[in-house]
Amino acid sequence: MKRQRLKITRREFLIGMTAAGTGFSLGMHLPMAVAKTAVPGDADAPSTPEINAWVVIEPDDTVIIRIARSEMGQGTLTGLAQLVAEELECDWSKVTTEYPTPGQSLARDRAWGSFSTGGSQGIRGSHDYVRKGGAVAREMLIEAAAEAWDVPMEECIAANSIITHKPTGRTTSFGKVAAAASQLVPPFEVELKDPADWKLIGKPVKRLDTVDKLTGKQTFGADLTMPGMLNAAIRQCPTFGGKLESFDATAVNGMPGVRKVVPVEDNAVAVVADTWWQARTALDALPVSWDRGENVQVSSDSISAMLDEGLDAKEAFVGNEAGDVTSGLAGATTTIEAIYGYPYQNHAPMEPMNATALWTPERCEVWCPTQNGEAALEAAAEAADLPANRCEVYKIHLGGGFGRRGAFHDFVRQAVAIAKQMPGTPVKLLWTREEDMQHGHYHPITKAKLTGGLDANGNLTALHMRLSGQSILASVNPNWMQNGVDMFVFQGLLPDGDHAISYSIPNLLVDHAMRNPPVPPGFWRGVNVNQNAVYMECFMDELAHAAGADPLAFRRKLMADHPKSLAVLNAVAEKAGWDTPPPKGVHRGLAVCKAFGSHVAACAEVSVSKTGKLRIQRIVAATDPGYAVNPQQIEAQVEGSFVFGLSALLYGECTIREGGVEQTNFSSYPTMLINEMPKVEVIIMPSGGFWGGIGEPTIAVAAPAVLNAIFAATGKRIRRIPLKHSDLRPA
């Protein structure tokens, strides 16, 4: 084995550790025990040298794997640890994990790559470099053992945390050589294993974070406490874009526990008190006046009219075009048209937004659940008015994220803005559920007008899908747009790539009339495939019906050039028994989509009673993510995707009145419960050769599969979501 060496010193590799090991930093190896150890001033220096950025091995053989992406229930912590451990050749039972801090990342030139945990990127965005991190550490451990034995390292192998010198059978453990290994210069190049040789990747190992969550040991941001900490409750202007005008602190200053009433940025006010309930109670009693601004005129009706205009507007951005849709439609034997709509949705994670901040003129520290530690650090530094290298963020596992805690760190900015007015005192800001419902960054609102043309043989020859509605990027990441076009709007409908359309249609036009109401949009788990798959898959069913064709057979004819999408569709059809009649009173619907790099399909079985009561009985779902790192975790994500997608379909809608969201809590923004949960059968069919996402793709097929099954049951096409608006009594 010939190896090239990277000419850098060990000191350069370690430099970040010392930079981060000062001040109020948490124990490097205990970031998960935040509440117990995060005592300001209680510095806890790292005790064991690392092998490399990814791996620390204790003398007792404990393996600490550093994970930059955030754990929010989706299991990425375990999946990423599996990838590192696969190459490291360590004993899986000895593996624990820790988060490197964003401050360490800054000091070490982003040694761990991106911290962003969204877009189903956890594994598919970092599989290469995290596996290399494990492989490099393994090589260094082997080299340390070989040097100790004075034998060529090529004669040594590592497995299960044991290094063996093959010719003599001598063995040593990772823990015994870790200190020596940490002094070596890392190899410049490492070869990754062939997938055929994987031992840990692909295994349904148990999650590393379950026990602490089950026993209640896990501390979430909302539970965080530290000595001297005060609590803050916040109220933001009920109208989007509105400002704080004034408040009368004297009315609440004498209330129990109240320490201070403070303005927060230009649109909110917070009460800081000994306990959160005291803060909230005083906030309820606080006289506040708002400058609500011009958006007070905005309502769901005005937004709907804005989108309706876009459906027929002359100007639109093109997302996918083939052939000539105008002549294709003109030459069709039959044309049909339909208009669909998808409303605003809120992320509504169970744990409302929160962050704890400690500010001094010299330094600012924040403890928070975040999907993007680097972005949280940037937000903290900006709000603290300090350089980023004098700030730090300690990540805490999330009580749900769904996109709310990734691109937006309003809660971090606010916590710092409050703490800045209480120098030297840690302050925990916790939003009420009502603030969380009314100050989200919502799944964007869109409508679609679809026009399809069939020839005399019932073949789909032309399709025009006009999308009208809100762009996320225009509001959130304008720099990601291309010449004013938001290509994310076309997720699931694009000519190729991770979000390619699953059909070949000779004359096709998908275009977007961008209409941006003043309601802040955001990336909501699944993002734009949620509505695009409803539009495409439900209309595909309408076209099949118009052609007098079976919905499966009709789709198959258009999918010859999309074999992987066809394979997942065929898999659900076969397992659901599409070719045999369903039980009496049960009806089936199909949907297929490519999203976040994975191919997904679902077959739903529903029944609808004479009184219109829907029962979603059974879902068969198939996923081809290329490689399946942890099958039981994939199964959990696919199952959970139906709860998220079907909750949106059944109930999810944020309506706008006087420029604000009307819904206030789960009473007005319901989620499906256990008694509505269908049986979910998951088919995982990794075809290899690519890395697709898991957390989001399946949400796209949940709603259209059920809507198509409802049509089969009732003869009714439901084109408005959520279903709570529709009378499902059979026609």
Residue numbers 23-82 binding another protein by CB under 8 A: 73-74
Residue whose CB is less far from another protein, 54 or 408: 408
Binding segment for another protein (CB under 8 A), chosen from 456-464, 556-564, 668-676, 708-716, is: 668-676
Q: What are 105's two structure tokens?
A: 């990342």
- Residue 83: what residue type? L
Residue whose CB is less far from another protein, 279 or 702: 702
Residue whose CB is less far from another protein, 114 or 346: 346
Residue numbers 280-339 binding another protein by CB under 8 A: none
For residue 169, how far is the Cα from the chain centroid? 47
Phi first, then psi: give them for residue 95, nearest 5 degrees. Answer: -85, 130
Q: What are 393's two structure tokens?
A: 């963020």
Residue whose CB is less far from another protein, 205 or 273: 205
Exposed e or buried b per residue across 360-370, where buried means at least 16 C-beta atoms within 10 angstroms of its C-beta: beebbbbbbbb
Print the binding letters for residues 617-646 with another protein: x by CB under 8 A, - otherwise: -------------------x--xxxxxx--
Given a contact cutoff of 8 angstroms between Cβ atoms, the answer to whether 454 and 342 are in contact is no
Verify binding: residue 400, another protein, rule CB under 8 A.
yes
For residue 482, how far is the Cα from the chain centroid? 24
Residue numbers 346-375 binding another protein by CB under 8 A: 348-350
- Residue 180: what residue type? A
Verify binding: residue 671, another protein, rule CB under 8 A.
yes
Residue whose CB is less far from another protein, 378 or 653: 653
Nearest distance from residue 652's CB to another protein, in Å?
11
Nearest distance from residue 355's CB to another protein, in Å?
20
- Chain position carrying tokens 């009580």: 399
| Choice from 1, 4, 9, 214 touching another protein (CB under 8 A) | 214
| Choice from 673, 689, 727, 731 touching another protein (CB under 8 A) | 673
Nearest distance from residue 105's CB to another protein, in Å?
27
Binding segment for another protein (CB under 8 A), chosen from 3-11, 99-107, 167-175, 674-682, is: 674-682
Give the torsion sign (CA, 666, 672, 646, 546). Answer: negative
C-alpha distance from residue 614 to each of 114, 323, 472, 577, 609 (Å)? 43, 41, 33, 21, 7
Phi first, then psi: give them for residue 360, nearest 5 degrees. Answer: -130, 165
Q: Which long-range contacts (CB under 8 A, 24 or more apart) does 726-731 make?
A: 727/612, 728/608, 728/612, 728/613, 728/614, 729/608, 729/610, 729/611, 729/612, 730/608, 730/610, 730/612
| Choice from 39, 185, 677, 683 touching another protein (CB under 8 A) | 677
Residue whose CB is less far from another protein, 74 or 446: 74
Q: What are 611's two structure tokens?
A: 């009184």
Nearest to 190 by CA among 55, 287, 302, 295: 55
Nearest distance from residue 404's CB to another protein, in Å?
11
Verify binding: residue 605, another protein, rule CB under 8 A.
no
CA pair distance 169, 175, nearest whole angstrom: 18
Could you give the count of Cα atoms lying within 13 Å of 30 in the half-sphere of its Cβ?
A: 17
Nearest to 704 by CA among 539, 503, 505: 539
How big is the site for another protein, counted in residues (CB under 8 A)? Answer: 24
Nearest distance from residue 613's CB to another protein, in Å?
15
Strands 55-57 and 63-66, sheet pairing = antiparallel
Residue whose CB is less far from another protein, 299 or 671: 671
| Choice from 3, 679, 725, 729 touching another protein (CB under 8 A) | 679
Nearest distance from residue 603's CB to another protein, in Å?
17
Residue whose CB is less far from another protein, 340 or 442: 442
| Choice from 680, 701, 707, 709 touching another protein (CB under 8 A) | 680
Bridge partners for 590 per DSSP = 603
Residues in the chain: 731
Q: What are 156's two structure tokens?
A: 């040594």
Residue whose CB is less far from another protein, 340 or 596: 596
Print the binding letters for residues 127-166 with another protein: x by CB under 8 A, - otherwise: ----------------------------------------
Given a contact cutoff of 8 angstroms between Cβ atoms, the answer to whether 225 and 357 are in contact is no
Residue whose CB is less far from another protein, 153 or 650: 650
Residue numbers 419-478 binding another protein by CB under 8 A: none
Binding segment for another protein (CB under 8 A), chosen from 44-52, 140-148, 379-387, 667-675, is: 667-675
Residue whose CB is less far from another protein, 147 or 212: 212
Give the torsion sign (CA, 631, 633, 637, 643). Answer: positive
Binding site for another protein (CB under 8 A): 73-74, 214, 348-350, 400, 402, 636, 639-644, 647, 666, 671, 673-675, 677, 679-680
